[in-house]
Amino acid sequence: MNIEEAEKLGIEQATKESLTTIKVKSDLNAILATVAKPIISKTGILNVPYLCKDNIVTLGTKTTAASKILENFESPYEATVVRRLREAGAVLIGKTNLDEFAMGSSTENSAYGVTKNPVDETRVPGGSSGGSAAAVASGMVPFALGSDTGGSIRQPASFCGVVGLMPTYGRVSRYGLIAMASSLDRIGPITTCVKDAARVLQIIAGYDEHDSTTVDIEVPDYVSVLDGDIKGLKIGVPKEYFGEGVNETIVQVVRLGIEMLEKQGAVVREISLPNSKYALATYYIIQPSEVSANLARYDGIRYGISAKDANNLWEVYDKSRAQGFGVEVKRRIMLGTYTLSAGFRDAYYDKAQRVRTLIKQDFDKAFEQVDVIISPTTPTVAFKIGERVQDPLSMYRADLLTAPASLAGLPAISVPGGEVEGLPVGLQIMGRQFDEKTILRVAYAYEQVR
């Protein structure tokens, strides 16, 4: 069910029953009737139920970030994206599982259990927004919110066979998103179709006085550009994204998708993004460094778990963090603390930031020649649950093709591109900064012909 169908059903139910409130039941029709008597919807989202990743704060329910350290935390305020959706008439019905503090590529790192891929329950749904992707793919809701730092919306969307959109850094407010890596984190929608991604982005995008990183520019009408016409549009195909480390069958599926777009009138040309090969290493220096700084606030004093068996202040810090954080979170805190320590910051963190600039410059140069860039979303299909838990480097490689756009601050969308041995394959479309309109236009055109 997409948003349009859900809204129609919601209006019919609310009109029929004229309810202001009812107890939430498992039946979708009952859920859709939980709002007041309907008004005319200008957003196409009235009475539509959705789910929210549990690192985005909400009122009246817990926000845990899938961590024991925030097991009973209830936020005193709500995220800007949640408020905007509420004001547009959407109905938040719950929170979704994730890798703890959004650190992971499989949703196996949660303190509250593993999420399964609804396409094949023996496999992971991807991460860290695996709960949101699995919920949409299984038909629980028409859309869900996720967050993307190095691929955490696009990768699970690819693994579960749904649409996942990461907006430009600064397009959507991060106010109310529990910080992990502040120069990389973004909020975006996971949906069943491209038009729904455009609808949700239309609501949540825009300047927010609570977030100084949001940019005060006009938000386009994203839905109006979805006409399927891409004649003359230039598509760049980066040779570095179709080579070593990427499953050959996935490469074939994505190249077939590019051929479909070419038949629709797009102009395809090969390009080079030479510094993208350093993106994964760069990402896993910058991200843990920012993790180390952001997670210092969880000290057992202000909120969250506080050790009861501590004898002094230092033991409170030590034991609270030891008890509250999981293995992967501790690993990244230690990596980040090391790279920021005296004598190593210049060699690691500062150098990584310079490489990040080179990656961004590669994209800038490429976008002088093309309008969008297309690649596979992930180097593999969804892997088995437990397959990579003991091999963090293998897990990190899941971000091989998504990390470059994250580092460059670009918008990118993953759309279902086909299947390999019955498992979904994602096709990734990247665009210029604040040009979500063009990647949505291409994604919609591809969706219509695939």
Give residue limits of the domains in the chain: 1-39, 48-276+355-449
Q: What is the pLDDT of residue 20?
A: 38
Both tokens assigned to 138 = 């299984």
- 128 classed as catalytic: yes
* Closest among 107, 196, 108, 214 to 153, alpha carbons compared: 107
- Cβ atoms of 132 and 160 within 8 Å: the answer is no
**Could you tell me the sign of the dihedral formed by the alpha carbons of 148, 65, 179, 331, in that order?**
negative
Q: What is the pLDDT of residue 253?
A: 98
Q: For residues 299 and 323, what is the distance between their CA atoms, to the nearest angstrom? A: 11
Q: What is the pLDDT of residue 6?
A: 80
Q: What is the pLDDT of residue 8?
A: 76
Catalytic residue among 110, 128, 375, 406: 128
**Could you tell me the sign of the dihedral formed by the alpha carbons of 98, 103, 106, 108, in that order?**
negative
Q: For residues 157 and 403, what is the distance between their CA atoms, to the nearest angstrom? A: 15
Q: For residues 207 and 173, what is the distance between their CA atoms, to the nearest angstrom? A: 7
Distance between start and end Cα atoms, the chain = 19
Residues of the chain with pLDDT under 70: 11-42
CATH architecture of 48-276+355-449: Alpha-Beta Complex (3.90)
Both tokens assigned to 359 = 């990656």
Q: For residues 260 and 149, what is the distance between their CA atoms, to the nearest angstrom? A: 30
The model's pTM is 0.92
pLDDT in tens, 288-317: 999 999 999 999 998 888 998 899 999 999
- Cβ atoms of 268 and 237 within 8 Å: the answer is yes
Catalytic residue among 67, 105, 152, 406: 152
Q: What is the pLDDT of residue 334?
A: 96
Both tokens assigned to 150 = 């190095």
Calculate ∠ Cα 449-167-297, nearest 5°: 145
Q: For residues 184 and 147, what is the distance between their CA atoms, to the nearest angstrom? A: 10
Both tokens assigned to 87 = 């004001």
Q: What is the pLDDT of residue 342?
A: 87
Element housing 53 (H / E): strand 49-53
- 53 classed as catalytic: yes
Altogether, the residues listed in the chain come to a count of 450
Calculate ∠ Cα 163-431-180, nearest 5°: 65
Provide the β-strand partners of residue 415: 427
Which backbone phi and psi does 34 adopt, to 5 degrees? Answer: -85, 5
- 132 classed as catalytic: no
- Measuring CA to CA, how many Å separate 99 from each of 64, 110, 328? 11, 5, 9
Q: For residues 66 and 152, what is the distance between their CA atoms, to the nearest angstrom? A: 15
H helices of 397-435, in order, are 403-408
Calculate ∠ Cα 70-61-71, nearest 5°: 20
Q: For residues 366 and 358, what is the distance between their CA atoms, to the nearest angstrom? A: 12
Cβ neighbourhood burial of 224 (10 Å; 0-12, 13-18, 19+): exposed
- Measuring CA to CA, how many Å separate 66 from each of 95, 132, 364? 10, 13, 37
